[in-house]
């Protein structure tokens, strides 16, 4: 299963190229997306988005857009939502071709934006108010995303429960994630494999952390996934 900060529309082409036909989690844990008739059991709360049945975890738009506007007004910290930019401005600001830039701002749940010339002190004040209101603020390089009730762990639990119900057994959850993103993901899984950029002192026999520079990286990942450890 894929877990990505991208939207379902951004993931269309990568999924097609990779032949990926499984459920996926998008917008950093805002929702689970299920292909048509993937499970014979039905989740209790769903919504139809494009070709997918979505299990919403975060509040759908325009909740995030409204929350972002309110935070900006109350803190006096100017922000620029990506959806407010023209395709040319969007491509210039996030460094993507026009078509990809347009897909990047079409979100189902979270709101992408960047701070417009604010000091770190002002941005920290903005972050603090977002936390008080239980809003999830994540950084993605030059821009950020804001969502109401985003929860990666809940997404994993919802998807795992569907597999358990469909197969009438507990399906082991094995997470494979970069070191920086592993915290929330591993908490919801039975096992975790960290992909680390650091090879210093790496033990080739250690399967819970694998440096991405190893030439046989995916062989090691697969061996770790299928091991009993």
Task: Answer yes or no: is 159 within a domain.
Answer: no
Q: The domain spanning residue 91 has which CATH number?
A: 3.30.980.20
Structurally, the chain folds into a number of domains equal to: 3
Mean pLDDT of 143-156: 95
Tracing tokens 């299928």 back to the chain, one arrives at: 226
What count of residues does the chain have?
Answer: 229
Is the Cβ–Cβ distance between 71 and 137 less than 8 Å?
Answer: no
Q: Are residues 132 and 188 in the same domain?
A: no
Tell how far CA 128 is from the center of its chain. Answer: 22
Confidence of residue 228 (pLDDT cuts 50, 70, 90): low
Mean pLDDT of 31-52: 93
Q: What is the pLDDT of residues 84-113, one digit of tens each?
A: 988 778 777 777 777 777 888 889 999 999
Is the Cβ–Cβ distance between 192 and 179 less than 8 Å?
Answer: no
pTM of the model: 0.88
**Parent domain of 206:** 172-229
Sheet holding 111-115, edge to edge: 79-81, 111-115, 143-148, 135-140
Per 3-state DSSP, what percentage of the chain is helix, strand, and coil (rounded to 5)? 40, 20, 40
Is the Cβ–Cβ distance between 206 and 191 less than 8 Å?
Answer: no
Q: Are residues 76 and 123 in the same domain?
A: yes
Angle between helices 63-75 and 120-132 (to 10 degrees): 130
Say whether pLDDT at 204 is over 50. no
């Amino acid at each position: 299963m894929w877990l990505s900060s991208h939207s379902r529309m951004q993931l269309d082409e990568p999924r097609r190229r990779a032949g990926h036909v499984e459920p996926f989690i998008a917008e950093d844990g805002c929702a689970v997306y299920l292909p048509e008739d993937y499970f014979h059991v039905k989740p209790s709360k769903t919504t139809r988005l494009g070709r997918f049945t979505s299990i919403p975890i975060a509040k759908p738009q325009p909740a995030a857009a409204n929350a972002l506007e309110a935070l900006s007004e109350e803190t006096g910290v100017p922000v620029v939502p990506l959806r407010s930019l023209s395709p040319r401005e969007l491509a210039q600001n996030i460094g993507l071709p026009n078509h990809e830039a347009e897909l990047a701002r079409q979100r189902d749940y979270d709101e992408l934006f960047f701070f417009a010339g604010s000091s770190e002190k002002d941005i920290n004040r903005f972050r603090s108010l977002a936390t008080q209101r239980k809003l999830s603020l994540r950084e993605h390089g030059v821009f950020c995303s804001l969502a109401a009730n985003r929860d990666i762990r809940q997404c994993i639990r919802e998807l795992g429960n569907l597999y358990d119900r469909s197969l009438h057994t507990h399906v082991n959850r094995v997470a494979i994630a970069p070191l920086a993103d592993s915290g929330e993901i591993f908490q919801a899984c039975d096992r975790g494999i960290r992909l680390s950029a650091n090879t210093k002192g790496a033990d080739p026999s250690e399967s819970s952390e694998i440096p991405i520079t190893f030439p046989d990286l995916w062989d090691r990942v697969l061996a770790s996934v299928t091991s009993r450890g």
